[in-house]
């Protein structure tokens, strides 16, 4: 679940940051650009999630091994490493799907108009906040935090535009 939520947030923020100069100016975004940028963002997030999860799981395995044997880890068995890699890849793929969704939620409506893109971004933030939080106070708090992250991404994207 963690990788799904992180992927969605990453996709939403990264796509908003990279395309903000276009979205805010009201420039026309093509469907090809929206899909291409979404796939790029999601692929980068997949790689990041895979590497981070692999390192984390390997470190945990080494700690457990040490606690059981009281010996330093020389080699972890190849079969166990394959399982760690497979689990890490599954998490990366989950992150990819969620990241792709987060990016597309902003970019596809932006192909119609900037207002649609900004509106879908707000709806995405609210829906994600609802999913993450239980009560109304937590929903508002979570929406504000995610909204601030997206706003910071938009500002950075406007200051340092990737696409002119």
For residue 151, is it within any domain?
yes
Q: How far is CA 103 from CA 11, 50, 65, 82, 95, in A?
A: 4, 19, 40, 31, 12
Q: Which domain holds residue 56?
A: 2-159
Q: Are 30 and 111 in contact (CB under 8 A)?
A: yes
For residue 42, is it within any domain?
yes
Number of structural domains in the chain:
1
Strand segments (E) across 37-156: none
Which tens digit of pLDDT belongs to each residue from 39-78?
999 999 999 999 998 898 888 877 777 777 666 666 667 6
For residue 141, is it within any domain?
yes
For residue 47, is it within any domain?
yes
For residue 148, is it within any domain?
yes
For residue 144, is it within any domain?
yes
Among 96, 97, 102, 95, which Cα is nearest to 34's? 102
Identify the band that residue 100 occupies on the pLDDT scale cut at 50, 70 and 90.
very high
pLDDT number for residue 115:
83
pTM above 0.85, yes or no: no
Which tens digit of pLDDT belongs to each residue from 122-148?
888 888 778 777 778 788 888 888 888
Average pLDDT value over all residues in the chain: 82
Taking the C-alpha atoms of residue 117 and residue 65, their distance in angstroms, rounded to an integer, is: 49
Sign of the dihedral through C-alpha 79, 85, 89, 95 = positive
Residue 71 has phi, psi (to 5 degrees) of: -120, 150
For residue 164, is it within any domain?
no
For residue 58, is it within any domain?
yes
């Amino acid at each position: 679940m963690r990788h799904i939520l992180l992927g969605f947030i990453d996709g939403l923020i990264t796509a908003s940051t990279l395309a903000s100069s276009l979205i805010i100016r009201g420039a026309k975004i093509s469907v090809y650009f929206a899909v291409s940028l979404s796939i790029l963002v999601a692929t980068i997030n997949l790689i990041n999630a895979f590497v981070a999860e692999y390192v984390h799981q390997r470190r945990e395995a080494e700690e457990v091994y040490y606690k059981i044997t009281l010996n330093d880890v020389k080699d972890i068995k190849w079969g166990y490493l394959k399982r760690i890699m497979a689990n890490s890849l599954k998490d990366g793929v989950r992150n990819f799907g969620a990241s792709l969704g987060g990016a597309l939620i902003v970019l596809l409506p932006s192909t119609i108009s900037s207002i649609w893109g900004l509106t879908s971004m707000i709806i995405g933030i609210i829906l994600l906040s609802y999913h993450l939080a239980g009560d109304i106070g937590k929903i508002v708090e979570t929406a504000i935090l995610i909204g601030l992250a997206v706003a910071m991404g938009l500002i950075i994207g406007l200051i340092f535009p990737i696409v002119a």
